[in-house]
Structure 1
């Protein structure tokens, strides 16, 4: 077999095998580390990394991170709290505040 073809085939397989990695945390307080569910998830088909931040006034209270299917960037207000739902598509991109 042609060496160039084998090299191209191996490169294509490497791209397919690498998957999006996202940070998981089910409860992170604003001035603290992750209190529950810290780890890494591998995004499946139609999933991206998600970060939900909940503010009361202008002060971050809680954040939540995970892989999420059909993720959308959304911001909304309910009872003096602002919910910011952000999505991203590169490794560990949801680990920010």
Structure 2
């Protein structure tokens, strides 16, 4: 019994490890509209994670951008009266929920 459990558990871990990360893509998403350009899905390659970039002006979301991003990291910065917020995640389609 223990050998069967160990075999099934090992197989499950292997499948989970090789299942590629899938992310939502949208190259132009406005707050009042759906995705206007580039809607789809990407499969993350080595060193990639799901990423969403949100751009705010006067604390109002202006637009967002979603892709698979290499060497992604969470980051927030201010430039020309806008706030740019990068969020990264490691679960399938997680950048659509951030």
Q: Distance in 2 between matches of 1:33 and 1:16?
A: 33
Q: Distance in 1 between matches of 2:30 and 2:20?
A: 28
Corresponding residue of 1:55: 56
CA-to-partner distance for each residue in 1:62-92, whole Å, 9 max, x for gaps?
Answer: 1000000100111011111000011011111
Q: Distance in 2 between matches of 1:14 and 1:69?
A: 23
Aligned pair count reads 96
Corresponding residue of 2:82: 81
Corresponding residue of 1:16: 17
Q: Distance in 2 between matches of 1:80 and 1:18?
A: 41
In the alignment, is residue 41 of structure 1 matched against residue 42 of structure 2?
yes
In the alignment, is residue 64 of structure 1 matched against residue 65 of structure 2?
yes
Cα distance, 1:13 vs structure 2: 3.7
| TM-score (norm: length of structure 2) | 0.86
Cα distance, 1:17 vs structure 2: 3.0
SS of the equivalent of 1:62 reads strand
Whichever structure has more helix as a proportion of its residues is 2
Cα distance, 1:11 vs structure 2: 2.8
RMSD: 1.8
